[in-house]
Structure 1
Amino acid sequence: MTDPAPDGPRLLVVEDDRPLGALLLRMFAAQGYEAQLAEDGQRGLHLALTREYDVLVIDRGLPAIEGLDLLGRLRRSGVTTPALILTALGTLADRVSGLDGGADDYLVKPFEVEELMARIRVLARRRKPAPAVTIGRAGFDLITRAVTLADGSCVTLSGRESDLLRLLAQDPARVFTRDEIVTRVFPESSTDSLVDTYVHYLRRKLGADAVRTVRGVGYRLGAL
């Protein structure tokens, strides 16, 4: 499955049942959604942390990272994308724990297609991501990954460069530790070596002051 296209509502489906996952992708495509499938919790965590989606559809009984654990990690990392838990666990206690765990909606398998689609439409309407943000005197287009600097020049970032800048720009005064940056931008990495590499890339493209080093702590947004 290719990456979601930027021009339609985008869904991330985290489901380890391959036939059901393939069925969901076909159903969503027929309704005009761009959907991507992750077959375990670790892959779902990586995609949800590094890419933009309009709705997350998450099973509970996932390999690697259980569904509610996955959702909890996303919420603690600041991911607010509306999430639907789609699972066979349907007792009252299951539904309550799912909603208390960060889900916006909870649907039990087996489900009616019309009901699933109606719930997805409701959640998709809640997600209205801004196409661009302003960082000081610079503009950052979240779709094209282009940064328009104060002098009018335009720089296009790679996916990971864009993810790192977006993280720092979420709270310009905050110092992000290396561990936080690894968790949010490089969740598949077991070391923080990539952090320094991509900070260097951003400085090379946007200027030496684009990212500031706070010794012994981490990095914060600088001046673009």
Structure 2
Amino acid sequence: MTDAAGPAAKVLVVEDDRELGPLLLRLFRGAGYEPELAPDGQAGLHLALTRRYDALIVDRGLPAIEGLDLLARLRRSGVAVPALVLTALGTVADRVAGLDSGAEDYLVKPFEVEELLARVRALVRRGAGAAERLAVGAGTFDLISRTVTGEDGSVVALSGRESDLLRLLARNPSRAFTREQIAAQVFPDASSVALVDTYVHYLRRKLGTTAISTVRGVGYRLGPA
């Protein structure tokens, strides 16, 4: 069970099996989690890069992006959410490959429900004990405290919306986002994309004019032009 005194832990399940995926959702809901299902590796990558989760459950034989490749990409992008590989591949070499790709745990199908839930509880505890950090230029962005620590030790506090915008860009450091894409993910309740320009201005004022660059004809990207 999750901690009844706090919000339910959010679990992303990346599973293409049409029977097992919905079954895992029901299992996690019944255990008190807030699960979300991605039916392939590409969808899983998008969700894990743009939303916050407490644990990831990832199959290996996924369409679009294979499970271990998905985990490796997430780790390179700075996503440190604890992950469990849930797969039918169970040799020692398979387990080693899974752990080397960035997974914290590895469970072979078929599995016992109680064992899976115990392992997920351990993942959630592990994630709760360590702040997720992303590189922002020469500094470090702490997603939990919503602060950016510079190379000189200076600390800049961010608002919730500023943090959400910086997280999206920092998790995709080589990607340029259109104003519409940013608005849809960071300001979904806003009626205008003008808020994007406003919050980019706020971040530049706090972090420096080169923190976010304008990509002509596209939108915005992390770092200098």
Question: For residue 144 of structure 1, what is the aligned residue in structure 2?
Answer: none
1:209 is the counterpart of 2:205: yes
Q: TM-score, normalised by structure 1?
A: 0.69
Which residues of structure 2 form unaligned runs of 5+?
1-5, 132-142, 149-153, 183-195, 216-220
Which residues of structure 1 form unaligned runs of 5+?
1-5, 141-146, 148-155, 171-175, 183-191
Question: For residue 180 of structure 1, what is the aligned residue in structure 2?
Answer: 173
Does structure 2 retain, via aligned residues, the 8 Å contact 1:16–1:40?
A: yes
Deviations 1:118-154 (A, max 9, x none): 11111110112564323477643xxxxxx1xxxxxxx
Does structure 1 retain, via aligned residues, the 8 Å contact 2:55–2:127?
A: yes
Question: For residue 71 of structure 2, what is the aligned residue in structure 1?
Answer: 71
* SS of alignment partner, residue 213 of structure 1: coil
CA distance in 2, matches of 1:85, 1:17: 14
CA RMSD of aligned residues (A): 3.2
Q: How is 1:66-215 mapped onto 2 (pairs within 5 angstroms)?
A: 66-128=66-128, 129=131, 131-135=144-148, 139-140=157-158, 147=159, 157=161, 162-166=163-167, 180-182=173-175, 192=176, 194=178, 200-204=197-201, 206=202, 209-210=205-206, 212-213=209-210
Deviation larger for 211-220 or 42-51: 211-220
Supply the AA of the counterpart residue of 2:59: D
Deviations 1:27-71 (A, max 9, x none): 111111110000000010011111111110000000000000000
Deviations 1:155-177 (A, max 9, x none): x63xxx64432367x7xxxxx9x
Question: For residue 18 of structure 1, what is the aligned residue in structure 2?
Answer: 18
Instruction: Give runs of ≥4 in structure 1 deviating > 6 Å.
Output: 214-218
CA distance in 2, matches of 1:85, 1:54: 15
CA distance in 2, matches of 1:219, 1:17: 36
Q: Percent identity?
A: 56
Q: Aligned pair count? A: 181
Q: CA deviation at 1:100?
A: 1.3
* SS of alignment partner, residue 93 of structure 1: helix
CA distance in 1, matches of 2:94, 2:116: 18
